[in-house]
């Protein structure tokens, strides 16, 4: 059964009123020894893609091939189970692997499983396992779903130091939403003098906000910050003829907003009939425009071209300033 993370951090009253997508801690699947599966069944499963090799002598049921993020996440979770059975010395899942186990938003998880151990690992490397050596304090050790994992604060800091900022910000945003204490995170970052990646990590932490509701929103905010644009507010309430509606990101004084459109919410499933969703979103957009807002709509494709995205936002901000002067 999926666990839902309900704790929140650094939320404003308006954010508590805005609709939110709950974070979900994933279920870590079981794996099997290859020897425990009949040879013919093993060959057939590997050939038709229903089984996948997780590690030498270890197999698992293959995750869905689409969407791609779900497959990469599923493969790493299989690796988590395999790794937990292969390591005999004390370890804690860490970095982006710990972020996944906490239910944080990890964009494009890699193939490697990350663990932290108290001493330098032996030379015999484990395939697809990245072993970090660190004198991990007791306060940074915990258990999630029965597995040893670095604390939520330590996980956020490790990700901020080791990932690119655009990948790290969604993790840190969601860690704050999941209950990570911002003051503790800042203190750990301040104490990490000389740590590799700490300068960019501090920038990420300074920008992090529990109100960010998706990877897309977090990535958009990083791209704007990297271009030197003023930081937008989040989860902005706007009174419209439909009632109160929330703009994902924006500048209320200029009535300029950014709405991130992830294709998943128009594909059915938990979001309902996609045609109904499209009509509702069109009506919502019209209501925001009639309320005097300039809305820049952003998709995953737009995030692949930061220069064009930034230019569109700059143009919208300029239009908002001209309108305010008249």
Distance between CA atoms of residues 309 and 321, nearest Å: 19
135: pLDDT strictly greater than 50: yes
Instruction: Look at residue 106 and tell me whether its pLDDT is greater than 80.
Output: yes
Indicate the pairing of strand 113-117 with strand 129-133.
Answer: parallel
Nearest to 317 by CA among 297, 296, 298: 296
Q: Render pLDDT for 58-103 as a digit per residue (tens, 0 to 9).
A: 999 999 888 888 899 999 999 999 999 989 899 999 999 999 999 9
pLDDT tier at 17, thresholds 50, 70, 90 = low
Q: What is the mean pLDDT of the segment spanning 121-142?
A: 87
| Spatial CA neighbour of 259 closest among 226, 307, 294 | 294
Domain match, 229 and 206 both: no
Nearest Cα neighbor of 311 from 217, 223, 204 is 223
Contact at 8 Å (CB) between 105 and 209? Answer: no
At residue 1, the pLDDT reads 28
pLDDT at position 127: 83
> In Å, what is the CA distance from 86 to each residue of 117, 123, 149?
14, 15, 16
| Residue from 143, 173, 133, 140 nearest 155 by CA | 140
Please tell me whether residues 141 and 239 are part of one structural domain: no
pLDDT at 268: 42
Residue 38 belongs to what domain range?
A: 16-210
Q: Is the pLDDT of residue 6 over 60?
A: no
Give the C-alpha separation, 305 to 312, whole Å.
11
The pLDDT assigned to 265 comes to 43
42 plus 160 within the same structural domain: yes
Q: Which run of H or E residues covers position 149?
A: strand 147-150
What's the rounded mean pLDDT across residues 36-51? Answer: 94
Q: Which of 142-146, 194-198, 200-204, 263-267 has the lowest mean pLDDT?
A: 263-267
Domain assignment present for 2: no
User: Which of 11-15, 167-171, 294-298 has the least mean pLDDT?
Assistant: 11-15
pLDDT at position 196: 96
Residues 285 and 152 in one domain: no
Whether 274 is covered by a domain: the verdict is yes
Residue range 260-275, pLDDT digits in tens: 987 544 344 444 566 7
**Alpha-carbon distance 104 to 218, whole Å?**
12
Residue among 220, 244, 74, 272 nearest 234 (CA) = 220
- Asked if 74 and 63 count as a contact pair (C-beta separation under 8 A), the reply is yes
Residue 258's beta-bridge partner residues?
249, 296
Residue 141 has pLDDT above 70, yes or no: yes
Q: What pLDDT does 276 receive?
A: 75
* Alpha-carbon span 251 to 46, nearest angstrom: 52
- The answer to whether residue 9 is domain-embedded is no
Q: Report the mean per-residue pLDDT for the chain.
A: 89
Residues 242 and 101 in one domain: no
Structural domains counted in the chain: 2
Q: 3-state DSSP call for residue 263?
A: helix
Q: 105 and 84, same structural domain?
A: yes
Same domain, 84 and 171: yes
- Is 318 inside a domain boundary? yes
138 pLDDT tier (thresholds 50, 70, 90): very high
For every residue of 77-98, DSSP letters joined together read HHHHHHHHHH--S--EE-HHHH
Among the three residues 146, 177, 210, which one is the final residue of a domain in this structure? 210
| CATH number of the domain residue 239 falls in | 3.40.960
Shared-domain flag, residues 168 and 247: no
Residue 217 lies in a domain: no
The β-bridge partners of 60 are 52
The pLDDT-based confidence of 124 (bands split at 50, 70, 90) is low
**Same structural domain for residues 177 and 284?**
no
**Cα 109 to Cα 27, 29, 69, 70, 236, distances in angstroms:** 16, 17, 8, 9, 30
Beta bridge partners of 295: 257
Q: Among 161, 182, 210, where does a domain finish?
A: 210
Q: What predicted TM-score, i.e. pTM, was given to this entire model?
A: 0.87
Domain boundary among 185, 210, 235: 210
Predicted confidence at residue 23, as pLDDT, reads 87
Q: What would the mean pLDDT of 96-125 be, rounded to a whole number?
A: 90
Contact 37, 53 (CB under 8 A): no
> Helix (H, G, I), strand (E, B), or coil: what is residue 36?
helix
Same-domain pairing of 230 and 319: yes
Is the pLDDT reported for residue 13 higher than 60? Answer: no
């Amino acid at each position: 059964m999926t666990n839902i993370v309900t704790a929140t951090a650094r939320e404003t009253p308006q954010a508590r009123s805005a609709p939110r997508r709950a974070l979900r801690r994933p279920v870590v699947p079981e794996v099997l020894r290859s020897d425990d599966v009949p040879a013919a069944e093993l060959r057939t499963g590997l050939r038709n893609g229903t089984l996948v090799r997780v590690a030498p002598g270890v197999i698992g049921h293959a995750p869905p091939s689409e969407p791609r993020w779900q497959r990469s996440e599923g493969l790493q979770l299989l690796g988590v189970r395999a790794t937990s059975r292969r390591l005999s010395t004390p370890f804690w899942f860490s970095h982006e692997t710990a972020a996944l186990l906490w239910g944080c938003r990890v964009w494009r998880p890699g193939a490697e499983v990350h663990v932290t151990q108290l001493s330098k690992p032996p030379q015999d490397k484990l395939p697809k396992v990245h072993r970090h050596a660190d004198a991990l304090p007791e306060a940074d050790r915990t258990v999630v779903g029965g597995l040893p994992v670095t604390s939520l604060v330590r996980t956020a800091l490790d990700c901020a130091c080791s990932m690119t900022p655009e990948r790290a910000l969604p993790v840190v945003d969601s860690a704050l939403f999941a209950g990570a204490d911002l003051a503790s995170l800042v203190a750990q970052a301040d104490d990490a003098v000389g740590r590799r990646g700490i300068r960019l990590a501090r920038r990420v932490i300074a920008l992090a906000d529990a109100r960010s509701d998706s990877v897309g929103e977090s990535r958009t905010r990083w791209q704007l910050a990297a271009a030197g644009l003023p930081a937008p507010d989040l989860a902005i309430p706007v009174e419209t003829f439909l009632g109160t509606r929330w703009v994902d990101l924006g500048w209320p004084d200029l009535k300029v907003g950014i709405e991130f459109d992830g294709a998943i919410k128009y594909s059915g499933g938990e979001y309902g009939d996609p045609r109904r969703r499209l009509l509702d979103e069109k009506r919502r957009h019209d209501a925001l425009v009639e309320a005097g807002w300039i809305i820049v709509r952003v998709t995953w494709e737009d995030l692949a071209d930061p220069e064009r995205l930034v230019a569109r936002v700059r143009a919208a901000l300029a239009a908002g300033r001209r309108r305010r002067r008249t």
